[in-house]
Structure 1
Amino acid sequence: MKSLTLSPDHAHLPRAFHAFLLVPDRPLRYGLWLRARDAWAGWRDRSTDPNAESERDAAPVTSPWLQRLEAEYATALAAGRTRAEALVAVIDGERAELESEAASLGLLLAQLDARHSAPEPEPDDAILGVGERYSTPAERLARRRWEQAGRRARLTSDTSGAEARRRAVVQRIAVLEQERRSHWTLLQQRGRLLQAHYQRRAGTYTRAMERRREGQRLTAPAMPAPAWLGAELGDVPRPSGAISAAASAA
């Protein structure tokens, strides 16, 4: 898959599979024509090499062609980073809503638990309204016990519903975290493939600049790598102010 018009749905599975397919499963193709272009550019730029008289230059070579390669590399990295951040932003927005809901459910469960623990007076047969004057004491007592049992049943039902919803929210947060990590892992892997590809192109260009018969050896510049590219796969920055799932579940 060479291109894809991304939408917010691509932040989540199964639609995210389309975004994942954008990354090649092997190093980028370095075809003969592109290799010939880099070699020709290096051979052409021999005359502009400021270190042509030295046998070996320890400093990396600089030239407009290499600057162009670095610019293409930086643009490709920026495009991948922008795409990943757009998809992760969708995930972070949904995660923030779920974490807020989990916190609210935690407060609700605390209130329900307090109501469960609060002592409830034993029903009596006292007359509380005009209509109860025509009821016997046994009827009034049975009615109040029935009302008390109904309140307890509703309280138990509300507690069970809140606990079930909180479990579902925490589970969804865990899924979102894995999706978020997958998008960043994909970005890092794609970035490393791009770095290796453009480093290879820079090496081809630099070798073509060398005057090997004269014993000249040149050093290709290293393609710059941002900090996130060199981090461990899946090691992604956390959104500021995020509430952890563990804290939400407490």
Structure 2
Amino acid sequence: MTGDRTTELARAAWPDVPPDALVLLPIGSTEQHGPHLPLDTDSVIAHAVARRASTALPTGLVAPTLPYGASGEHAGFPGTVSIGHEALRAVLVELVRSLSLWAARIVLVNGHGGNAATLDTAVRLLRAEGHDVAWTGCPAPGGDAHAGRTETSLMLHLAPEHVRLEAAVTGDTRPLSVLLPELMAHGVRAVSPSGVLGDPTGASAGEGRTTMDAMVSTAVRRITTWTVDDRGRLTEPAHQAVRP
């Protein structure tokens, strides 16, 4: 690269792009996150993980965040925008095919759990085509499901001006594994009228900073190790594994 290194692809000129570029593409969503968090919460978190991880990777570049995903379970809330699994798969496939014309390796950094099934199918196809691509989630050890303490703390750290703590309410606090069948069948609103799955009480910017540091460390470790499972997902040795 020429001059000071930027890791933001959108801010670079084409001569700045290294021939062995490692591109991190954040995948987010535009969906409700309770009455207190913004609709772009997943996108903000995915971009932050990708951007901070890129600084630890010698040729890392962060592509502009994809702000739409498969968020049909949140369709009962105004503001949610979902493109569904089929459209998301097509977008991911074409983005990676295009990036592969000049990037040496591509990592899809996913901030929304509802995108995971589509990432599996898209990345498996792309790897079968010969593209050096994989995906990773943004795991938060011990985190709650949606718009609770974990995401509220992360957003207090990353974008406190967009958090409305005075509007925060406790939602359904049952484990996601218990909630999932009802969520899949009837959507989030049937389970939690507020859209919160968890309890934001006690959230803090300090906790969010600690969580973000752990998420970035996990991403860097997975990318550096580059062990890919049959889903096309970056994994770690069993003793270090953190769920996506």
The structure number with the bigger radius of gyration is 1
Give the structure with the higher percent strand.
2
Q: Which category of TM-score, normalised to the shorter sequence, fits these structures?
A: under 0.3
Q: TM-score, with normalisation over the residues of structure 1?
A: 0.20
Ranked by relative contact order (alpha carbons within 8 Å, sequence separation 6 or more), the top structure is 1
